[in-house]
Structure 1
Amino acid sequence: MTERQVRTVILSTDDLDASIAFYEALGFALKFRDGTHYAALDGGSITLALATAIDHPLPGSTVVGVRTEDVDGAAQAVEASGGAIVKAPYDDAHERRAVVYDNKGNGLVFYRPLPR
């Protein structure tokens, strides 16, 4: 089985600036920001991501981001184990990803950065 690592927790926001300010006040340093729709904060061994509905894989939900070299295999394993594929594996501008629900309806995103 391919190694999988929980690397990101993605939270929903409707006001990225206010959410960034809130988490910075709690001591989370801003690592990266993509316009008005996505920001990554330093959560130590994981990234705390903030995303508006435009960039959030499941708006309104907390989603766990799992890094893996085999995004397609992870999606197949989810489906075979009683979960559901929300968005089948695809490539976006930065990574290959699949958006899924586990067998209890919790959101997961499996991803692998694309070569540059």
Structure 2
Amino acid sequence: MAHDVRQVLLSTDDLDASIKFWTETLGFTLKFRDGTHYAALDGGSVTIALATSLDHPLPGKVVVGVKTDDVDGAAAAVESAGGAIVKAAYDDAHERRAVVYDDQGNGVVFYQPLAR
């Protein structure tokens, strides 16, 4: 099972203010935004994602986004090792995802782009 950390998801209640802070104060470049609920910033090898509760898998928590070739297997491995599945593997419009807590309560989203 191959894994690749691709995102760190941060919570925000005000996407415009968060984008302004991360771009103007910290100098990150906005890659794209999705309405008033999600934005992606270029963090080099990792995307900094800003998300409101509408798009954040665990609002209020920092979540690591891990691209994998086996979402179901990764979620099962976490559960077997003492973690917990928050949202079992499912397909959305673009990818297969599972939301889990590791054995210390840290949030992780495993995802795999859907074949087109």
- In structure 2, the residue matched to 1:4 is 3
- In structure 1, the residue matched to 2:48 is 48
1:90 is displaced (CA, Å) by 0.3
SS at match of 2:23: helix
- In structure 1, the residue matched to 2:39 is 39
Q: Is 1:69 paired with 2:69?
A: yes
Separation in structure 1 between the aligned mates of residue 109 and residue 40 of structure 2, nearest angstrom: 15
The TM-score with structure 2 as length reference comes to 0.97
User: What is the percentage of aligned positions where both structures have the same residue?
Assistant: 76
1:115 is displaced (CA, Å) by 2.2
1:27 is displaced (CA, Å) by 1.0
What are structure 2's unaligned runs of at least 5 residues?
A: none
Deviations 1:21-41 (A, max 9, x none): 100011110111111100000
Structure 1 residues 5-20: aligned runs within 5 Å: 5-20=4-19
Separation in structure 2 between the aligned mates of residue 70 and residue 20 of structure 1, nearest angstrom: 32
The TM-score with structure 1 as length reference comes to 0.97
RMSD between aligned residues: 0.6
What are structure 1's unaligned runs of at least 5 residues?
A: none
1:113 is displaced (CA, Å) by 1.0
Amino acid at match of 2:58: L
User: How many residue pairs end up in the alignment?
Assistant: 115
Deviation >4 Å, runs of 4+: none
Separation in structure 2 between the aligned mates of residue 71 and residue 96 of structure 1, nearest angstrom: 7
